[in-house]
Structure 1
């Protein structure tokens, strides 16, 4: 690790695990070395009037897709898209990001080919990036051709996570059944819409646009994929075994049944990402799983899919982690909304975006302001009654972002 000069952040209100309190935080060689210690010639950063907190750990964010495909069907080169995404992360106080990289049988943005380009791009750009960019291998379980990429990524320098994702069964769900209540995907009586149904063709139009293929071709492709449904469980066994061998954090996505959560827990996935109803969240809590909801859900005061609200889940002890999902600023804005709504005090809310996702991801070196931890820190300007904004982000003691207001 490159050595950086020692510095002290003075005068800020610090978000500790159990309180907010004024304190001076001393940083040296990328670590927090003292709280309220001597200056010892260290460079001083004035934090007066600001809040100093652990930088965010984003366990699931797919806003990077908008840099790669800013308009439907319009793809841009991977390298500049990743550089721009990295800067957005730093500007929003996110020091560790797991990019939710969907690996699907669909062509285009979410194809295995594009996924491989992104994994390779992040590795090649690593010396130029400002934050810890990782990937969440958001694997579409019908995508058999992604298994080699998953194996390769698990052997890379930054251990990814694996999210088991079945949007294929969701895509074929009979519209008479609410998405939030869809049966376990391997239920023999799963209420699938027949691919010959005209409703199915209508559903394919938007998918085809994203994949840059005609709707009729999308219908044919989806039909051929669905015909391999009997092979999916064996593929899940293979990927889960790879994840366990690498000690990778594993998640299941959009659980709608307790049976679904039990199935993926049995394969080693101890994180329930965006459970779609309360009973699944309660079952995950009873089993000791981590539970993730979207920070945009908290920011907006409810889910954009009419699923359960993050604020209610936090109040009931059924949410451990908030993820940026599709909007990086929501990590901070979600906390602000929860605080304003009286859900909990700020020091009790902050672990949702720092300590808890770090712990769930096996990153024991970050997520809290404590001596010995990585100096992943964020300085926030938070005026009374105003919108908070990130002023500085530090990643392992290195300044990754700084914004100086016009009046300063």
Structure 2
């Protein structure tokens, strides 16, 4: 049955306006059209906006493993994650699924199970749960899984991560200034020095092994370094073949951004300094920063401030990163600080991430677009609260009845 929202302040592509909005057969079919038998929804005093599109979120890991080494059943964890997405107004999410050489939470075996269970659960899920294949470039074992995922019905994105080189970086070099990961004279630590063991305790706990075993494994993986460039070329070619969006993660050098762009990665995810962000902008790349950064007022790693980058035209997309509520919180804070009008800020969490991901059917309120919508209770000076989330016109979350 058709529905029509009446009385809301509607976030349109170029403005906000109090207009009615009609939804039918999963799509937006009109603005300020007559009710014509549609179910009338009283949205007075509320804000109606395009539902959020999250290009990178790893908060699902907390449902999988709430405490180190404590795993919960996958179906339960994934369905709880889905509920959190919809309750935060997110109708499309790319889960940042790490494909690592580490055992445990971020292993290829665990990723395979998640891929399989998400596919099986899809008919029961409220939001559109996609995957960002957050591939650790030293993890050659993941290549067959990547190929399988790229052939699926919901095309994933591919993010090139090199946390291996980051882990091996000489501590005398600031993280935000590390050289291109594949340079011949990369400044790496000496794993034989016991003083380095403390650096890896948290990583080892996540992997379910002790620090000494983690160090031995890291040393073995580091020996693969000469083959990494070839593996990146292979995965990039597979992703290009199906037009999968590609991202490079934590870029620190223009050379890094140029390298991954050359393989088809037109999204710079969390660039770690302004120089790289400016180079990405000049090349016409999409630039992603973390919404928690903007919501909190700065990066916990000392990277550029997301809100400041957005104000200077160096941020196109805000991703939830590790906290789903952060996307709405970031928009609310930036709006309160007068950084830009609401319709412009909303592009950071909906239209732009949709376009960057090749999802041109959603992200905006306009006739013909998919009816992915969020209705917000947002009194002035208060935090926005989603009271209704629609995915393709179907109720994904409802905190109030609205007669639906």
Q: TM-score range by the shorter chain?
A: over 0.9
Aligned to 2:68: 72
* Contact 1:172–1:200 under 8 Å retained in 2: no
CA distance in 2, matches of 1:303, 1:204: 22
The alignment covers a number of residue pairs equal to 401
Distance in 2 between the 1:342 and 1:26 partners?
31
Residue 303 of structure 1: CA displacement? 0.6
Q: Tell me the secondary structure at the aligned position of residue 325 of structure 1.
A: coil
Report the counterpart of residue 241 of structure 1 in structure 2.
237
SS at match of 2:29: strand
Please name the residue that 2:268 is paired with: 272
Mapping for residues 184-333 of structure 1, pairs under 5 Å: 184-333=180-329
Structure 2 Cα separation of the partners of residues 384 and 291 of structure 1: 30
Residue ranges of structure 1 left out of the alignment (5+ in a row): none
Alignment partner of 1:344 is 2:340? yes
Corresponding residue for residue 382 of structure 2:
386
SS at match of 1:186: coil
Q: Which residue of 1 aligns with 2:34?
A: 38
Paired position in structure 2 for 1:106: 102
2:134 pairs with 1:144: no
1:123 aligns with 2:119: yes
SS of the residue 2:170 aligns to: coil
SS in 2 for 1:263: helix
| Candidates 151, 154, 160, aligned match of 1:155 | 151
Q: What is the deviation of 1:204?
A: 1.9
2: CA distance, partners of 1:196 / 1:276:
29
Query: Distance in 1 between the 2:326 and 2:225 partners?
Result: 36
SS at match of 1:100: strand
Cα offset for 1:45?
A: 1.1
> Corresponding residue for 2:353?
357
Q: TM-score, normalised by structure 2?
A: 0.98
Q: Secondary structure at the match of 1:326?
A: coil
Deviation (angstroms), 1:342: 1.3
Q: CA deviation at 1:404?
A: 3.2
For residue 18 of structure 1, give the secondary structure of its aligned residue in structure 2.
Answer: coil
Aligned CA RMSD, in angstroms, stands at 0.8
> Matched residues in 1 for 2:177 and 2:398: separation?
45
The equivalent of 2:2 in structure 1 is 6
Q: CA deviation digits over 1:171-209, x for unaligned, max 9?
A: 011111110100000111111001112232111211111
In 1: Cα distance, 2:264 partner to 2:2 partner = 41
2:184 aligned counterpart, secondary structure: coil
1:113-169 CA-partner distances (Å, limit 9, x unpaired): 000011111100001000110000000000000000000000011000000000000
CA distance in 2, matches of 1:92, 1:179: 32
Are the aligned partners of 1:378 and 1:392 in contact in 2 as well (CA < 8 Å)?
yes
Moved over 6 A (4+): none
Deviation, 1:20, is 0.8
In 2: Cα distance, 1:216 partner to 1:318 partner: 41
